[in-house]
Amino acid sequence: MRIMKIYLVCLVMGLSALFVDAHAAARDRSSHKDRKHHNEKHVKPSNTTTATEAIVVPDDGRPAIINLVKGSVRFVDGNGNGTLDPNEKGKIVFKVKNDGTGMAIGCKTRTKLDADAKDVKVEDVVLPMIPAGGVCEVEIPLTAGPDTQAKSFEVVYAVDETRGFGIEEQYIVVTTTAIPSPSLSLSNIEVSTSNGRSIQRKEPFVLSFNVSNTGAQEAKDAVVHITLPAGAALMEGEFHTKLGTLKPNMCVVLSYKVVMNVNYDGGDIPVKVNVTESSGRYGLSTTVNAKATTSAVSTRPTRNDSRVIPRR
């Protein structure tokens, strides 16, 4: 009887050990499965290509024939007014098709502008791979500078293909506009003398002219500066005259009383005139000739001449 009890106790302990081992093994299998599942969610497939990796496509020797899709060429500008304005970005847009039997690889645009597009920049682009029968939309960027003028120019473009099956030169006409700006000018230049005849030495004369803004934009902080030649002196008026803001179609009349010294020979009198405004881009620099009505001033002494004639 005692032996039977000992046997039963050993049997129970053995079964308990087996149960514990089985439970531990099941727990280990579950934990291993969870770890494997967790790791699999973070593993990137080996055939995934990142943005920095090059895609290599084998050359099978079949040609890619690139043709322009008829009616697809157009010009697109930023504000939609159909022209390229100063500081605006636009683009030439068109579609190309691969009518060959091979993959088109490494195609790129070749663009040039004519001489009238001095303030416009163009940027060539590389096309993506185009499979046989595929269509690709191409965008060639254009950027206008701040000094773009109102004119039209040609954009000549082509698409080069590595084997020579690209698109030959085509062209499209693009129109640019200019920012409204002031336009300063001088007009109605007049010379008047006290005797109504010619400019004389030591006798004042009046030089007058109009400063006008014939542009579509106001000229701010306009200033007129004059420079007289040697032998001339300013009796009335200012060398620097502040005009303030000249609105479009506004005109200001300026007059200066000038006198020549005894060295004046009777010829035209050049007066330099500079007109500036706040932007420093639309100023004016010119020379106004105060024209004498006679070719020369007589040097023959008169009764009122102050010079002393020596006796002989």
Rounded CA-CA distance 156/154 in Å is 6
Q: Which residue has the tokens 């060539």?
A: 124
pLDDT tens, N- to C-terminus, the chain (312 residues):
555 544 444 444 554 554 445 555 555 555 544 444 443 333 232 222 222 333 445 566 899 999 999 999 999 999 999 999 999 999 999 999 999 999 999 999 999 998 888 899 999 999 999 999 999 999 999 999 988 888 999 999 999 999 999 999 999 999 999 888 899 999 999 999 887 778 888 999 999 999 999 998 999 999 999 999 999 999 999 999 999 999 999 999 999 999 999 998 878 899 999 999 998 989 999 999 887 654 334 334 444 443 444 444
Are 120 and 148 in contact by the 8 Å Cβ rule? The answer is yes
What's this model's pTM, rounded to 2 decimal places?
0.52
Q: Which residue has the tokens 């943005």?
A: 51
Quote the tokens at residue 114: 């004519």
User: What's the CA angle centered on 55, arms 62 and 106, to 5 degrees?
Assistant: 55
Domains of the chain: 66-176 (2.60.40.10), 184-290 (2.60.40.10)
- The string of DSSP letters for 278-306 reads TTSSS-EEEEEEE--SSS----S--TT--
Rounded CA-CA distance 108/134 in Å is 16
